[in-house]
Amino acid sequence: MKKELKIPRIKDGTVIDHITAGNAVKVLRILGIPEKTTSVVSVAINVKSKLGRKDIVKIENRELDPYEVDKIALIAPKATINIIRDYDVAEKHKVELPDEIAGIVSCPNPTCVSNANEPVNTRFRVICKDPPRIKCYYCEREPDDIAERII
């Protein structure tokens, strides 16, 4: 049986595949889409795959820096970044959490200085990459609901 594509192939751009099902919108938020891009972006949610359900994001005519995208590993640790050139996968990269995450997640501690009116981004040290565990650089609190805390 011919495999049916839920979203058409793109000629050039970036495909983020194997996003944890249901997290595509949060991935877009982490990447600053649509605010930081005018590219056409297609999103497929709850797509069937060999490993269960997944989400897919396709961004046309824009190659994301794979390392810049690593921060999405916070909520999509199995995601892959595919750079597409002339319909072919030119580069493939599996996301890996960096050692520090800044300005993406808010601290769960209401009295943390990063939640006060100070000119700083939130900052977290990554203490475990898979499953993702992070600790606030300022107050050392560890959020247990990372996906809900995406800024």
Partner 1 sequence: MSFFLIRMNFKGKDVISIKDFSKKELNYVLEYAKKMVPYARGEKYKDLLKGKVLSSLFFEPSTRTRLSFDSAMNRLGGRVIGFSDPSGTSQKKGESLADTVRMADSYSDIIVIRHPHEGAARLAAEFAKAPVLNAGDGAGRHPTQCLLDLFTILTERKSIKKNRIILLGDLKYGRTVHSLAYALSMYGVELTFVSPASLKMPREVIDECKELGVEPKQSSNLDKAIKDADVLYATRIQKERFPDPAEYNRVIGSYKIDNALLEKANDDLIVMHPLPRVTEISPEVDNTSHAVYFKQAFNAVPVRMALLSLVNGGLL
| Beta carbons of 57 and 15 less than 8 angstroms apart | yes
Q: Measured between alpha carbons, how far is residue 124 from residues 13, 79, 97, 132, 140 in Å?
A: 30, 21, 12, 11, 8
Closest separation between CB of residue 75 and partner 1, Å?
Answer: 22
**Tokens read off for 22:** 């249901």
Q: Residue 89: which of 77, 97, 80 has the closest Cα?
A: 80
User: Which string of b and e fits 125-137 if b means at least 16 CB within 10 Å?
Assistant: ebeebeebbbbbb
* Shortest Cβ 140–partner 1 spacing (Å): 7
The residue among 20 and 114 lying less far from partner 1, judged by its C-beta, is: 114
CB of 113 to partner 1, least distance (A): 4
d(CA 30, CA 81): 15
Q: Nearer Cβ to partner 1, position 83 or 107?
A: 107
Least gap, CB of 32 to partner 1 (angstroms): 24
The residue (of 61 and 115) whose beta carbon lies closer to partner 1 is 115
Closest CB 133 distance from partner 1, rounded Å? 11
Contact status, residue 56 vs residue 41, Cβ threshold 8 Å: no
Question: Which residue is listed with tokens 């944890």?
Answer: 20
Residue with Cβ nearer partner 1 (13 or 132): 132
In the complex with partner 1, the residue whose CB is nearer, 16 or 101, is 101
Q: Which spans of this chain sit near partner 1 (rule: CB under 8 A)?
A: 109, 111-114, 116-120, 136-142
